[in-house]
Amino acid sequence: MGRKREGEKLGDWTIELFVENAELYLRSLEKRVPQAPVEVKALLERLSEQGFEVRRVLDLNCGIGRHSIELARRGIEVLGTDISPLYIKIARERARSENVHDKARFLVADMREIARTLSREEAFDGIINLFTSFGYYDDETNDDILRQCRRLVREGGFFALETANKDWIVKNFLEQSFHWEDDLLLLEEREFDPYTSRIHNTWTYLQRVDEKTYTLKGRIKFDHRVWSLNELIEMFRRTGWSFKAAYPGLNEEKNTPLTAARRLLIIAQR
């Protein structure tokens, strides 16, 4: 199993993947850009159902800004943050090219220090964190991030978290899979630790040279936390948030049973 090495902290891999080897995951992010309009439409509908007005939002771990830019197209002011300088550079370029740079700003930031980094920002209406961009660190650090986020949101504001559903993962667990990103082959190996509710992953990237030849582009080992619905509700409760609602993930039918949803969208209130 891909256990952490002695002296290594949970989440150290975020630098290795998103900073030192950011170009490896970039193709996965770019491939998902066309899904952003559907996902943002669903997100705003669900927030509206819960009585939230969305005028100014923090997109925490925004990647290349696919959701931030779509929100900006709808007239919403967005600050997108990510640990990856490359992704933030691309997000800024996309915002300028799509003429929404007056609404969408982007900043390199580590979510573990988000309150200090944004200490001079006005309070946000809410924070979004989408596509399993949470759970990279140990439980204490994950909780601290949510407490920090609470300080950045106005009274009555929201946190919308979309993350992998542990119930679905346990029922449908795949130890190995692969897929293509253009001419880049990604081999994925996984092990689920039921004692910690963490998935230990090894991603191997192979560049296709010709029909029979591949070169190794990179191999990343990482792990992340997954939760069931009741665990997510408790996590928000103990960090000072009030649970409001749970939905299937933004790319799933709204009437999908929560136990059958691949991802969960949790909405909590300050």
* Domain ranges within the chain, ordered by starting residue: 14-165+227-269, 168-224
Give 1-21 pLDDT, tens digit per residue: 334 433 345 668 999 999 999
Structural class in CATH, domain 14-165+227-269 = alpha beta
Distance CA 54, CA 49 (A): 12
pTM above 0.75, yes or no: yes
**CA–CA distance, 235 with 102 (Å, rounded to integer):** 35
In this prediction, residue 182 carries a pLDDT of: 87
> DSSP letters of the chain?
--PPPTTPPTTTHHHIIIIITHHHHHHHHHHTGGGHHHHHHHHHHHHHHTT---SEEEEET-TTTHHHHHHHHTT-EEEEEES-HHHHHHHHHHHHHTT-TTTEEEEE--GGGHHHHTTTSPPEEEEEE-SS----S-HHHHHHHHHHHHHHEEEEEEEEEEEEBHHHHHHT--SEEEEEETTEEEEEEEEEETTTTEEEEEEEEEEEEETTEEEEEEEEEEEEE-B-HHHHHHHHHHTT-EEEEEEE-TTS-TTS-GGG-SEEEEEEE-
Question: What pLDDT, on the 0 to 100 scale, is given for residue 107?
Answer: 98
How do residues 143-185 score in pLDDT, each as one tens digit?
999 999 999 999 999 999 999 999 999 999 999 999 998 899 9
Q: Residue 80 and residue 103: Cα distance in Å, rounded?
A: 11
CATH dotted code for 168-224: 2.20.25
pLDDT at residue 11, as a whole number? 66
Q: Which residues of the chain have a pLDDT value below 70? A: 1-11
The predicted pLDDT at position 7 comes to: 38
